[in-house]
Structure 1
Amino acid sequence: MKTLMRVSALALALSASAAVPAALAQAAPPAADSMFRATTLNLSAYGETKVAPDMATITLGVTTEAPTAVEAMQANAQRMSGVVAALRRGGIAEKDIQTSGLNLNPQYRYEENKPPQLVGYQASNMVTVTVHDLKRLGQAVDATVGAGANQIHGISFGLDDQTAAENAAREEAVKALQQKADLYGRATGYRVSRLVSLSEGAASFPIQPPMPMMEFARAAKADTSVSPGQLTVRVDITGLYELTR
């Protein structure tokens, strides 16, 4: 009798445990299963728009050398004050002149079989200048070189507000994605039913090489006329489409 009861209890437990997965399977939403049964198309596309820049950035600086650290820093500060004053006379606001690097380094002379000999100090001060009125860009270039800036890393162009350019690129990207989906649908005998998901990557601006220092200096001596050209704004997107017969 006890053996029969144990068998019955075991059978009941097995029956209950088997019922749990069945219940879970019935409760599971059909979306995942239908997703696997659906024919989908995963595509990527990009959109580009070209726009004229409305601002520029110049990175420049002053490097000075002197026998002592104090003398090197004082000479550097005096020369940089002249550069900043020239920028302001060129129409650049104080808020658009930002110090981006200030360094003081000892200078050594090296001779064979002798310890390094301290010969002086080098001070450098770099500033990043933002020009919002490109008509003043040539004046700013002339002012920096004429005032004694001897470390010039070049000019790069950009946009004060990228929103409009990015939105135009987004519209082009969506058009390209839809056209690609329709093409694949026709080629495979399907019809695009709906857009399931859409994702976007970061908008990008191709990096413009800055004007080299020597070319920059030569241009400044000739009453600089700078041509900003155009910027290309690109947006990449990925979309998942459901297809039907």
Structure 2
Amino acid sequence: MNHQSMQKRVMTVTGEGIASAQPNVASIQIGVVTESMNLTQAQQENARMMERVIASIVNLGVPRASIQTSEYTILPQYDYDSGTQVFRGYEVTNMITVTNENIAQTGEIIDTAVQNGANRVSTIQFSVKNPEALYQQALSVALRDAYLKANTLAGTMRARLDPAPIKVMEGGKDGAIPLAKASTFAASTPIEPGQLEIEAAVEVQFLFFA
């Protein structure tokens, strides 16, 4: 039977791809929390301690431009005695985000900040400087996966696959996700950056002849 007499049909397959990389950017949230019955005193003490924390981080070689205030809150604090609300002072919280491309220094930054007055570390996140390039790699893997599945299906059905797809749709785009595998840098506070992975998916339609 020649190809002209064979019936054209449409095959739809999905492809999935993952690209992984070592993170090269660390973001750390570090804070100072102070309490006092006097609000001005709590603010002044907080400012003094935070400036000391920032100066200590800058002395490690982190550019001051890489340190940003991420949260500043003032909250009244109360105790309850036999159902009665008793004011016990103000709590001032000042959080900064330190972004550093030398991720091996993450533990040292945390230790230095704590030694100089920081009393809260809330978040440590690792990322890559160019996640789009990593996503493009995952997308390429996803398309190859779709081709492989289409050829497998066509071979199983003893059909001829037209290698030129008639439609390609990009699937969901995920952010960088930390993997469990990790290496620990030598630091007094051990930090495990691990690897990051980005996933991509495609939906591809091919013509095949049966």
What interval of TM-score do these two structures reach, taking the shorter chain for normalisation?
0.7 to 0.9
* 1:223 and 2:193 are equivalent in the alignment: no
Q: Which residue of 1 aligns with 2:144?
A: 175
Q: CA deviation at 1:38?
A: 4.6
Select the structure that is richer in helix.
1
Q: Which amino acid aligns with 2:101?
A: H
Q: Which residue of 1 aligns with 2:39?
A: 69
Q: CA deviation at 1:186?
A: 1.5
Which has the larger Rg?
1
Count of residues paired in the alignment = 198
CA gap 1:80/1:54 in 2 versus in 1, 3 angstroms: same
CA gap 1:88/1:95 in 2 versus in 1, 3 angstroms: same
Q: Which residue of 2 aligns with 1:206?
A: 177
Q: CA deviation at 1:223?
A: 2.8
> Distance between the aligned counterparts of 2:41 and 2:196, measured in 1?
44
Task: Report if the CA contact (8 A) 2:178-2:196 is conserved.
Answer: no
Select the structure that is richer in strand.
2
Alignment counterpart, residue 69 of structure 2, candidates 91, 96, 99: 99
Alignment counterpart, residue 52 of structure 2, candidates 52, 64, 82: 82
Q: Which amino acid aligns with 1:93?
A: P
Identify the structure with bigger relative contact order (alpha carbons < 8 Å, sequence gap 6+): 2
Task: Report if the CA contact (8 A) 1:62-1:79 is conserved.
Answer: yes
Alignment counterpart, residue 199 of structure 2, candidates 221, 230, 234: 234
Unaligned stretches of 5+ in structure 2?
1-6
The TM-score with structure 2 as length reference comes to 0.85
- Where do 1:130-209 residues align within 5 Å? 130-193=99-162, 194-200=164-170, 201-207=172-178
How many percent of aligned residue pairs carry the same amino acid? 27
Give the SS at the match of 1:110: strand
State the Cα RMSD in Å: 2.2
Q: CA deviation at 1:141?
A: 2.0
Task: Report if the CA contact (8 A) 2:66-2:100 is conserved.
Answer: yes
Q: Which residue of 1 aligns with 2:4?
A: none
Unaligned stretches of 5+ in structure 1?
1-36, 210-218
The TM-score with structure 1 as length reference comes to 0.74
